[in-house]
């Protein structure tokens, strides 16, 4: 029966583990769907009443329950809402090549879209099961892929959230097919980029809103503008306050219609192709990034920033800035996830290969850190992770599509793609609306208002002046008229009176002169009354003039008030402008600061790169030196082993570089940094690092610092975890060097080093590795305190086991270990702390000791002779030694050994031991 391993993911909504019992899983799925439906029903955007200032359009139907992205409620808009990264997996159909090559084999995966599960075949009878937010089979249409993967993200962007859609997978699995197909011949084939822009353009209002795009390529940590390919040194700017990331150097094109967008996209593709041809790279190694900025104006009362005050004064209303929402959609077509061959088979140097992988591996590390809730997320390690800082663990709504192929031949890559998707499902974002006051537009509005007021005021002034002039000239005219009328009338009347008088006096001259005098007076009365009425008229006119004057004064007052109001408004505008200027200068300052910092960082990065290359160079030199030494000085070094000193620096003269350059490296790079490289991902770096550490450990003056910095622990870990023969050899050599001091010997044993060395001794075949391991154990054998442990933890057995390798260097180290051990035992006997038979004899060392006591290699022979003498000094061992025919060897040593001290020791032993004396007599050997 097929067994099935289930993997749980930590995502929202998956409340039950998957068991082999299908019913339970289906019940949970139904619950989950209910949860999704309820989430969507409280989404304010799922109804048609849009909160923006636009009239709602019906063309973009809001996504329904089937979508994989969560949604935020209106209440949460200002303070953010949790939103997990949603992950869909898409299987590409078999292509023609696979149809032939894999004809007899089943696909490496089996999809269960209705259960949202994917089974990855381990072999014919076993598979692993994984759950995703959506499982898209090879039959899934581009439309469905857009609707479940990208549409909810696009809707979020229209509502003022940032959004990310990203495709991850091996080259050739359909990332570009999914994201970037233009579908010009076949509309149904349109990819996510084209469909997203269609939805955005259909939803926005051209009078108040705007959409602009940038299209970029990231290759070897360099960002190139795909809309302006000569622009290939674009830098990333981060707002220190908000953390928003922008690329001020990138071309930003405003999009008014779909055709412009499609044209730009195909232009970008052409530039990408040309750039990659020029750099001799494949597009599968670069990341393509489309950024769509959507800016929408909204009415204050619908906004998260609005103040709930209906009675705000008119002035406050005028001065209240409009509100804009800026959603940014980022669509990322990642480089192929397959590992680039480190040997540089694509024609890259090692450095290039590292740089090509940098962004993708940094992304993987960030996602791991976020998935594990690690306190440090290495966002700043690469440009890609800096660009996507809002997408993972930020405020954006993020949807990831992982693409896989069916071929069993790529099972490994497919498995790692699936695991990437599974980890990404654990990443939580905190969705936040991007809304702000539009001060610029307020300033523009006030400017227009001010212009209007000034024009109105000027118009009023002009009318007023005209009116005054008209009134004044009319008054003048009327005064002149009245004056001329009066003068005329006076003249006429006077003439008439004079004539009348003359006529009258003539007529009455003679007879009624006296009487007629009275009549003349009457006549004068009449003239005077006439004159009076004219004077009244004149008075009336002058009051009218006075009234006009008053009117004029009033108008002047009004004008002054209007002028004061204008100057008040002018002041306000000036204040706004000052405020704006202060802000822009602050922004400029911050930009400058950022630039300085990024320059500083670039400098530091260069320094690090230089130091790393120095490190590589030094370890290369170390290799060279070792090779030379191996070739030329082998014989000399073997000779050196003759020395009986147990703590000679054999390893330091082999394997590694000269001390001067090491000391230089030590100072320049720093011990901590070198030790950290022992855990590097790159095996080459690890090898170089362990060689450098071994070199340093060969100097006695460095040993204490290495151990204090945790170097011993790292070396033991490396020996435990690595299968690499070089690493094992060099690490064992370094441990052997550190094992020269008594304190370190105890540390090694307390950290399980003895067991580790024994395991390595049993498994290794390389004579040089065995020599290092035997050397390390031999050093431990010289420590009085470790005797019992060495025996108990199999150290002696391990030492003896290594004689299977007949290399004289290995045998010499084994012999030295045995001699050290025997010497310690002998001391313990003398001090009375040991009573019983030698542990060496108990562990069966005696036959090998006797067999090699006269070995032709002098280092082996000397050590064994010494060991025999130590063993023979104690009567408890005598019987075993006689049985093993060690007596003959002792006799030989006491006669032939070229070293006086050993010869004398053997002689003394033979003459003092009663058991030996008895045996010698029995054999009739005359020994006195």
* Residues within window 597-636 making contact with Mg ion, judged by CB under 5 A: none
Of 140 and 736, which CB lies nearer to ligand ADP in the complex structure? 140
Q: Interior CA angle at 748 toward 746 and 751, to 5°?
A: 105
Q: Is 317 annotated as a binding residue?
A: no
**Backbone phi and psi for residue 91, each to the nearest 5 degrees, phi listed first:** -100, 130
Q: Is 403 in the site for Mg ion (CB under 5 A)?
A: no
With CB under 6 A as the contact rule, the residue among 11, 83, 163, 174 that binds ligand ADP is 174
3-state secondary structure 728-753: HHHHHHHHHHHCCCHHHHHHHHHCCH
With CB under 6 A as the contact rule, the residue among 6, 171, 647, 854 that binds ligand ADP is 171
Q: Is 391 in the site for Mg ion (CB under 5 A)?
A: no
| Binding range to ligand ADP, per CB under 6 A, among 168-176, 192-200, 226-234, 665-673 | 168-176
Classify residue 488 by burial, with Cβ atoms within 10 Å: 0-12, 13-18, 19+: exposed
Task: Report in angstroms how near the CB of residue 149 gets to ligand ADP at its nearest.
Answer: 13
Q: What is the DSSP string of 132-152?
A: -SEEE-TT--HHHHIIIIIHH
Q: How many residues bind Mg ion (CB under 5 A)?
A: 2
- Give the Cα separation of 98 and 109 in Å (integer): 14
With CB under 6 A as the contact rule, the residue among 22, 56, 93, 378 that binds ligand ADP is 93
Binding partner of 93, given ligand ADP, Mg ion, none, CB within 5-8 angstroms per partner class: ligand ADP
Q: Which residues contact 817 (CB under 8 A, 6 or more apart)?
A: 774, 777, 778, 781, 799
Binding partner of 127, given Mg ion, ligand ADP, none, CB within 5-8 angstroms per partner class: none
- Report the SS3 class of residue 192: helix
Q: Is 462 annotated as a binding residue?
A: no
Residue of this chain nearest to ligand ADP (CB atom): 174
Task: Report in angstroms how near the CB of residue 347 gets to ligand ADP at its nearest.
Answer: 20
Of 334 and 872, which CB lies nearer to ligand ADP in the complex structure? 334
Residue of this chain nearest to Mg ion (CB atom): 176
Q: Which residues contact 546 (CB under 8 A, 6 or more apart)?
A: none
* Residues within window 164-203 making contact with Mg ion, judged by CB under 5 A: 175-176
* Residues within window 233-292 making contact with ligand ADP, judged by CB under 6 A: 284
With CB under 6 A as the contact rule, the residue among 117, 175, 285, 907 that binds ligand ADP is 175
Binding partner of 434, given Mg ion, ligand ADP, none, CB within 5-8 angstroms per partner class: none
- Report the SS3 class of residue 835: coil
Of 94 and 342, which CB lies nearer to ligand ADP in the complex structure? 94
With CB under 6 A as the contact rule, the residue among 43, 71, 173, 758 that binds ligand ADP is 173
Q: Is 113 in the site for ligand ADP (CB under 6 A)?
A: no
Beta strands 3-6 and 126-131 are parallel
Q: What is the DSSP string of 538-605?
A: HHHHHHHHHHHHHHHHHHHHHHHHHHHHHHHHHHHHHHHHHHHHHHHHHHHHHHHHHHHHHHHHHHHH
- Give the Cα separation of 811 and 822 in Å (integer): 16
Count of CB atoms situated within 10 Å of the CB of 505: 13
Task: Report in angstroms how near the CB of residue 175 gets to Mg ion at its nearest.
Answer: 5
Tokens of 385: 């992770």
Of 174 and 859, which CB lies nearer to ligand ADP in the complex structure? 174
Task: Report in angstroms how near the CB of residue 286 gets to ligand ADP at its nearest.
Answer: 11
Q: How many residues bind ligand ADP (CB under 6 A)?
A: 13
| Binding range to ligand ADP, per CB under 6 A, among 169-177, 219-227, 534-542, 700-708 | 169-177
Of 22 and 93, which CB lies nearer to ligand ADP in the complex structure? 93
Binding partner of 414, given Mg ion, ligand ADP, none, CB within 5-8 angstroms per partner class: none
Binding partner of 177, given ligand ADP, Mg ion, none, CB within 5-8 angstroms per partner class: ligand ADP
Of 28 and 269, which CB lies nearer to ligand ADP in the complex structure? 269
Tokens of 631: 């070739």
Of 97 and 511, which CB lies nearer to ligand ADP in the complex structure? 97
Of 284 and 612, which CB lies nearer to ligand ADP in the complex structure? 284
Q: How far is CA 280 from CA 14, 47, 275, 287, 358, in A?
A: 46, 51, 8, 15, 19
Q: Is 164 annotated as a binding residue?
A: no
DSSP state of 56: P
Q: Are 902 and 869 in contact (CB under 8 A)?
A: yes
First to last CA, the chain: 82
Q: What is the DSSP string of 770-801?
A: HHHHHHHHHHHHT-GGGHHHHHHTTHHHHHHH
Q: What is the DSSP string of 215-226?
A: EEEEETTEEEET
Tokens of 764: 């290794």
Binding partner of 231, given ligand ADP, Mg ion, none, CB within 5-8 angstroms per partner class: none
Of 145 and 819, which CB lies nearer to ligand ADP in the complex structure? 145
- Give the Cα separation of 13 and 28 in Å (integer): 9
Q: Is 170 annotated as a binding residue?
A: yes
Q: Is 169 annotated as a binding residue?
A: yes
| Binding range to ligand ADP, per CB under 6 A, among 173-181, 304-312, 320-328, 571-579 | 173-181
Q: Is 300 annotated as a binding residue?
A: no
Classify the C-alpha dihedral 889-893-897-901 as positive or negative.
positive
Of 176 and 744, which CB lies nearer to Mg ion in the complex structure? 176
Length of the chain counted residue by residue: 928
Q: Is 171 annotated as a binding residue?
A: yes
- Give the Cα separation of 619 and 616 in Å (integer): 5
Of 93 and 106, which CB lies nearer to Mg ion in the complex structure? 93
Of 25 and 91, which CB lies nearer to ligand ADP in the complex structure? 91
Q: Is 260 annotated as a binding residue?
A: no
Q: Is 169 in the site for ligand ADP (CB under 6 A)?
A: yes
| Binding range to ligand ADP, per CB under 6 A, among 164-172, 647-655, 730-738, 908-916 | 164-172
Task: Report in angstroms how near the CB of residue 247 gets to Mg ion at its nearest.
Answer: 22
- Give the Cα separation of 823 and 897 in Å (integer): 18
DSSP state of 321: P
Binding partner of 260, given ligand ADP, Mg ion, none, CB within 5-8 angstroms per partner class: none
Q: Are 686 and 718 in contact (CB under 8 A)?
A: yes
Q: Which residues contact 795 (CB under 8 A, 6 or more apart)?
A: 754, 757, 758, 777, 780, 781, 789
Q: Is 873 in the site for ligand ADP (CB under 6 A)?
A: no
* Residues within window 408-427 making contact with Mg ion, judged by CB under 5 A: none
SS percent in the chain: helix, strand, coil, step 5: 60, 10, 30
Of 91 and 715, which CB lies nearer to Mg ion in the complex structure? 91
Task: Report in angstroms how near the CB of residue 332 gets to Mg ion at its nearest.
Answer: 12
Task: Report in angstroms how near the CB of residue 195 gets to ligand ADP at its nearest.
Answer: 15
**Backbone phi and psi for residue 333, each to the nearest 5 degrees, phi listed first:** -100, 100
Binding partner of 653, given Mg ion, ligand ADP, none, CB within 5-8 angstroms per partner class: none
Binding partner of 173, given Mg ion, ligand ADP, none, CB within 5-8 angstroms per partner class: ligand ADP
- Give the Cα separation of 728 and 769 in Å (integer): 7
- Give the Cα separation of 423 and 808 in Å (integer): 53
The residue ranges that bind ligand ADP (CB under 6 A) are 92-93, 169, 171-177, 284, 336, 403
The residue ranges that bind Mg ion (CB under 5 A) are 175-176
The annotation places the binding site at 169-176
The annotation places the binding site for ATP at 169-176
């Amino acid at each position: 029966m097929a067994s099935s391993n289930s993997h749980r993911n930590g995502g929202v909504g998956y409340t039950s583990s998957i068991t082999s019992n299908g019913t339970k899983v289906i019940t949970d799925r139904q619950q989950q769907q209910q949860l999704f439906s309820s989430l969507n029903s409280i989404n304010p955007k799922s109804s048609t009443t849009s909160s923006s200032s636009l009239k709602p359009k019906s063309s973009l139907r809001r996504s329904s329950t089937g979508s994989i992205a969560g949604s935020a409620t209106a209440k949460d808009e200002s303070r953010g809402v949790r939103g997990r990264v949603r992950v869909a997996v898409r299987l590409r159909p078999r292509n023609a090549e696979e149809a032939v090559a894999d004809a007899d084999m089943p696909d490496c995966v089996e999809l269960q879209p209705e259960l949202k599960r994917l089974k990855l075949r381990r072999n014919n009878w076993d598979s692993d099961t994984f759950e995703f937010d959506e499982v898209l089979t090879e039959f899934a249409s581009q439309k469905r892929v857009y609707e479940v993967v990208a549409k909810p993200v696009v809707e979020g962007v229209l509502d003022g959230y940032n959004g990310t859609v990203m495709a991850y997978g091996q080259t050739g699995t359909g990332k570009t097919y999914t994201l970037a197909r233009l579908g010009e011949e076949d509309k149904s084939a349109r990819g996510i980029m084209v469909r997203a822009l269609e939805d955005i353009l259909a939803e926005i209002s051209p009078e108040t809103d705007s959409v602009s795009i940038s299209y970029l390529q990231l290759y070897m940590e360099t960002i190139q503008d795909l809309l302006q390919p000569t622009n290939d040194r674009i830098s990333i700017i981060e707002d220190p306050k908000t953390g928003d990331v922008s690329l001020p150097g990138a071309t930003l094109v405003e999009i008014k219609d779909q055709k412009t967008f499609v044209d730009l996209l195909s232009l970008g593709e052409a530039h990408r192709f040309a750039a990659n041809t020029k750099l001799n790279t494949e597009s599968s190694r670069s990341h393509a990034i489309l950024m769509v900025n959507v800016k929408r104006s909204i009415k204050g009362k619908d906004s998260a920033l609005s103040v709930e005050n209906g009675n705000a004064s008119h002035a406050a209303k005028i001065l209240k800035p409009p509100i804009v929402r800026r959603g940014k959609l980022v669509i990322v077509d990642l480089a192929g996830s397959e590992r680039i061959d480190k040997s540089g088979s694509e024609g890259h140097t090692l450095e290039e290969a590292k740089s090509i992988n940098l962004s993708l591996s940094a992304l993987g590390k960030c996602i791991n850190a976020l998935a594990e809730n690690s306190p440090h997320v290495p966002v700043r390690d690469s440009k890609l992770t800096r660009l996507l800082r809002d997408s993972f663990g930020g405020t954006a709504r993020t949807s990831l599509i992982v693409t896989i192929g069916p071929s069993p031949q790529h099972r490994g890559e497919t498995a790692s793609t699936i695991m990437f998707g599974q980890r990404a499902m654990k990443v939580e974002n905190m969705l936040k609306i991007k809304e702000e006051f539009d001060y610029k537009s307020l300033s523009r509005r006030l400017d227009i208002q001010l212009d209007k007021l000034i024009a109105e005021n000027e118009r009023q002034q002009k009318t007023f002046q005209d009116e005054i002039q008209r009134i004044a000239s009319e008054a003048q005219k009327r005064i002149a008229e009245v004056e001329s009328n009066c003068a005329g009338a006076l003249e006429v009347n006077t003439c008439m009176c004079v004539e009348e008088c003359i006529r009258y006096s003539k007529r009455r001259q003679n007879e009624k002169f006296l009487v007629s005098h009275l009549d003349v007076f009457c006549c004068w009365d009449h003239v005077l009354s006439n004159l009076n009425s004219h004077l009244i008229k004149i008075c009336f006119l002058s009051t009218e003039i006075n009234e006009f004057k008053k009117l004029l004064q009033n108008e002047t007052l009004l004008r002054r008030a209007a002028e004061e109001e204008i100057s008040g408004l002018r002041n306000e505008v000036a204040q706004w402008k000052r405020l704006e200027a202060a802000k822009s200068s602050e922004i400029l300052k911050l930009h400058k600061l950022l630039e300085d910092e990024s320059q500083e960082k670039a400098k530091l990065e260069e320094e690090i790169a230089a130091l790393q290359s120095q490190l590589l160079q030094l370890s290369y030199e170390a290799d060279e030196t070792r090779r030379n030494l191996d070739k030329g000085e082998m014989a000399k070094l073997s000779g050196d082993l003759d020395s009986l000193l147990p703590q000679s620096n054999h390893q330091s003269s082999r394997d590694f570089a000269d001390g001067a350059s090491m000391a230089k490296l030590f100072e320049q790079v720093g011990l901590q940094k070198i030790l950290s490289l022992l855990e590097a991902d790159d095996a080459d770096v690890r090898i170089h690092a362990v060689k450098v550490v071994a070199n340093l450990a060969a100097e006695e003056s460095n040993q204490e610092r290495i151990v204090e910095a945790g170097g011993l622990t790292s070396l033991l870990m490396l020996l435990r975890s690595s299968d690499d023969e070089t690493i094992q050899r060099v690490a064992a050599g370094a441990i052997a060097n550190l094992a020269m001091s008594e304190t370190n010997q105890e540390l090694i044993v307390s950290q399980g080093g003895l067991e580790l060395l024994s395991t390595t001794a049993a498994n290794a075949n390389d004579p040089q590795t065995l020599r290092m391991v035997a050397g390390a154990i031999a050093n431990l054998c010289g420590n009085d305190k470790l005797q019992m442990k060495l025996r108990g933890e199999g150290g002696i057995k391990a030492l003896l086991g290594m004689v299977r390798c007949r290399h004289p260097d290995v045998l010499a180290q084994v012999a030295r270990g045995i001699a050290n051990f025997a010497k310690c035992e002998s001391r313990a006997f003398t001090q009375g702390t040991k009573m019983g038979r030698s542990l060496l004899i108990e562990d069966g060392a005696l036959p090998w000791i006797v067999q090699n006591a006269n070995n032709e290699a002098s280092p082996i022979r000397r050590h064994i002779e010494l060991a025999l003498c130590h063993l023979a000094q104690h009567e408890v061992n005598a019987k075993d030694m006689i049985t093993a025919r060690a007596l003959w060897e002792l006799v030989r040593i006491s006669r032939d050994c070229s070293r006086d001290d050993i010869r004398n020791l053997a002689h003394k032993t033979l003459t003092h031991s009663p058991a030996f004396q008895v045996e010698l007599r029995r054999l009739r050997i005359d020994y006195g």
